[in-house]
Amino acid sequence: MKKMTYVDALNAAIELTEGEVREKLVALRDATAKRNAADRKPTKTQTANEGIKADILALLADGQARTVSEIMDGVPSLADASNQKAASLVRQLKDAGAIVREEVKRKAYFKIA
């Protein structure tokens, strides 16, 4: 079941009301929709993560499959990062289709797509 958003709830309330209350709800719905659709610049962390992802892709460019631990050892910008952060960035690259995951003896290896 899809979770109801604030805009969905406001639309339902607008259908049930009239007059000034309806006008206020329409204005609130429009403001909420505008805020949610706004183009935001990436945060400092997001910008840094894009650089790390580029480093990961550069490491994997040789075509050799590596584990997350091997990727962490080969990418200097991941030297002080946690295993969870590295795995998360690798997963994001996999979800974007930039790299592929293959499993050998229950161990995950990643290589360039």
CATH topology of domain 44-112: Arc Repressor Mutant, subunit A (1.10.10)
Q: Report angle CA 91, 97, 99 to the nearest 5 degrees.
A: 65
Q: Where are the domains of the chain?
A: 6-37, 44-112
Confidence tier at 1 by pLDDT (50, 70, 90): confident
In DSSP terms, 111 is beta-bridged to 100
pLDDT digits (tens, 9 = 90+) for 5-62: 888 888 999 999 999 999 999 999 888 888 777 677 888 999 999 999 999 999 999 9
Q: Please provide the size of the chain in residues.
A: 113
In DSSP terms, 110 is beta-bridged to 66, 101
In the numeric block, which tokens belong to residue 13? Answer: 């309330």
Q: Answer with the residue of higher pLDDT: 34 or 73.
A: 73
| pLDDT at position 38 | 64
- In order of 42, 78, 110, the CA distances from 98 in angstroms are 20, 19, 10
